[in-house]
C-alpha cells in the first residue's frame, strides 16, 4: 500500500502527511510479517477505531519512554529521534493500537486478555513482534522477554500471535493447554515474595522447567510421546495434562486414592485406564475403559493398545489420585519410568 491509497482509505480521519507516512510503513511491515494472522481490512478497521489523532512528538523532558500508545485518548506519542529509530518505536506503538480489540461482552483489551499474566508479558510480546522487523531496536523488557522466549518454546508462535491480536484463544486457555500453569504460578509467587523483600534468583524464573514427574516428557518419537505426571494427585492437574497433549490420541493411566471432588473431561480421542485399590471409584466418576489391579498391568495394556493406534499418540501417566500403593509420588514416578524402559 502506498501513501496516497492510505490517505483515501482514511480520508475521514484527516491525518497529516507525517502520520500517513508512518502508518503506511507500519501497515506494510505488519502485512509482510503477520499478514497470515491479520488482514489489511482488519488493520484499517482498527486504525479507524483506535487512532483519532496525528502523531505527537515529545521532547526528552516530557516522558521517560521513547513512545507510548494512549488507548483512552486514541493517540500515539513519540520522542524525536533519528528517522529509523522513530519508525521502530512507532511500529511498537502501532502494534498496541491494532491489538486493541473489543470482545463480544463489550470489554476492550490491549493484547492478551488475561488477569494472571502481568502486563510485562504483553509489552514483551509487542517488542518481540517489533524485533522481527527491527532486530536492533529498543532493548527494554529484557528480563520479561527471556520469560516470553521460554513460553514461546512451548506454546506455538501462531497461537500466541492470534491470542495477542484477537484475545482468542485466551492466553489463560493456552497456559492450561500447554501445561504452563505451574510456571505462571511460580512467577506470581516470585512477585509476592518481592513485595516482602524476599529475593530469589531471577534466573530461576526464566530458566523454569517443570519439576520432576510433573508433565515430564520421558520419551518422544515422531508418532509417540510418553509423559510421567506422577505428581498429579487431583482431577484438575490431570485435566491440565490432558489439555496440553490434546492434539494426540491419548491413553491416560489413572490411579491412587481418589478425592471426592474428582472430575476430568474425556474426549473421543482418549482411552482411560484405571489401576489399583481405588479403580472402582474412578469408574464411578468418569468413563473408564479398562481396570486393573496393578500399575504394571495398566502399563502393559497401554503398550498393547499403542500398537493399534495410528498417527500421533500419547501415553500419559497422570494418576489424579494420591499414591496409595506407593510411598509417595516419587516412588510411583520411578516405578512408571522403570516399567516404560522394560517396554523399549
Could you report the per-residue pLDDT of 263-318, keeping only the tens digit for each? 887 888 999 999 999 998 998 888 899 999 999 999 999 999 999 999 999 999 99
In a domain, 135, yes or no: yes
Say if residue 17 is in the same domain as residue 164: yes
Say if residue 59 is in the same domain as residue 149: yes
Low-confidence stretches of the chain (pLDDT < 70) are: 62-64, 113-119, 137-141, 143, 172, 175-211
In a domain, 203, yes or no: no
Say if residue 86 is in the same domain as residue 221: no
Single residue among 175, 197, 231 that ends a domain in this structure? 175
Single residue among 175, 195, 226 that ends a domain in this structure? 175
Q: How far apart, in Å, are the Cα atoms of 254 and each of 16, 124, 209, 237, 319?
A: 65, 39, 24, 12, 4
- List the one residue out of 163, 38, 54 whose CA is nearest residue 109: 163
State the pTM of this model.
Answer: 0.58
pLDDT at 202: 44
Say if residue 171 is in the same domain as residue 236: no
Say if residue 38 is in the same domain as residue 128: yes
In a domain, 187, yes or no: no
Q: Which residues contact 72 (CB under 8 A, 6 or more apart)?
A: none
Q: For residue 94, what are the domain limits?
A: 3-175
Say if residue 237 is in the same domain as residue 338: yes
pLDDT at 94: 97
Say if residue 127 is in the same domain as residue 9: yes
Single residue among 147, 175, 203 that ends a domain in this structure? 175
pLDDT at 195: 40
In a domain, 338, yes or no: yes
In a domain, 208, yes or no: no
Distance CA 30, CA 41 (A): 12
Say if residue 155 is in the same domain as residue 228: no
Task: Tell me the DSSP string of 144-206.
Answer: HHHHHHHHHTTS-HHHHHHHHHH--S-HHHHHHHTT-HHHHHHHHHHHHHHHTT----HHHHH
Say if residue 134 is in the same domain as residue 51: yes
Domain total in the chain? 2
In a domain, 104, yes or no: yes
Distance CA 71, CA 51 (A): 8
CATH code for position 234: 3.90.190.20
In a domain, 236, yes or no: yes
Say if residue 158 is in the same domain as residue 278: no
Amino acid at each position: 500500500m502506498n501513501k496516497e491509497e492510505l490517505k483515501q482509505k482514511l480520508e475521514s480521519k484527516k491525518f497529516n502527511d507525517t502520520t500517513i507516512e508512518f502508518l503506511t510503513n507500519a501497515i506494510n511491515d505488519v502485512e509482510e510479517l503477520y499478514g497470515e494472522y491479520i488482514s489489511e481490512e482488519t488493520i484499517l478497521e482498527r486504525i479507524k477505531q483506535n487512532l483519532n489523532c496525528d502523531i505527537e512528538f515529545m521532547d526528552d523532558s516530557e516522558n521517560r519512554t521513547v513512545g507510548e500508545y494512549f488507548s483512552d485518548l486514541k493517540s500515539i506519542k513519540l520522542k524525536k529521534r533519528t528517522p529509523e529509530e522513530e519508525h521502530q518505536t512507532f511500529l511498537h506503538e502501532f502494534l498496541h493500537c491494532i491489538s486493541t480489540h473489543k470482545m463480544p461482552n463489550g470489554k476492550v483489551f490491549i493484547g492478551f486478555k488475561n488477569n494472571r499474566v502481568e502486563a510485562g508479558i504483553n509489552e514483551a510480546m509487542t517488542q518481540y513482534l517489533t524485533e522481527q522487523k527491527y532486530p536492533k531496536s529498543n532493548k527494554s523488557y529484557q528480563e520479561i522477554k527471556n520469560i516470553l522466549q521460554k513460553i514461546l518454546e512451548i506454546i506455538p508462535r501462531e497461537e500466541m500471535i492470534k491470542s495477542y491480536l484477537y484475545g482468542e484463544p485466551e492466553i489463560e486457555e493456552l497456559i492450561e493447554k500447554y501445561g504452563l500453569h505451574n510456571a505462571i504460578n511460580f512467577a506470581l509467587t516470585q512477585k509476592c515474595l518481592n513485595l516482602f523483600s524476599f529475593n530469589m534468583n531471577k534466573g530461576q524464573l526464566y530458566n523454569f522447567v517443570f519439576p520432576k514427574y510433573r508433565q515430564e516428557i520421558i520419551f518422544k518419537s515422531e508418532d509417540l510421546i510418553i509423559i510421567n505426571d506422577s505428581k498429579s494427585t487431583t482431577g484438575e492437574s490431570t485435566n491440565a495434562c490432558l489439555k496440553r497433549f490434546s492434539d494426540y490420541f491419548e491413553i491416560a493411566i489413572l490411579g491412587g486414592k481418589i478425592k471426592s471432588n474428582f472430575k476430568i473431561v474425556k474426549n473421543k480421542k482418549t482411552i482411560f485406564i484405571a489401576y489399583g485399590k481405588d479403580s472402582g471409584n474412578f469408574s464411578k466418576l468418569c468413563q473408564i475403559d479398562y481396570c486393573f489391579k496393578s500399575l504394571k498391568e495398566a502399563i502393559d495394556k497401554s503398550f498393547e493398545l499403542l500398537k493399534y493406534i495410528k498417527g500421533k499418540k500419547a501415553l500419559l501417566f497422570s494418576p489424579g489420585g494420591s499414591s496409595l500403593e506407593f510411598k509417595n509420588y516419587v516412588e510411583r514416578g520411578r516405578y512408571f519410568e522403570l516399567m516404560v524402559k522394560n517396554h523399549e
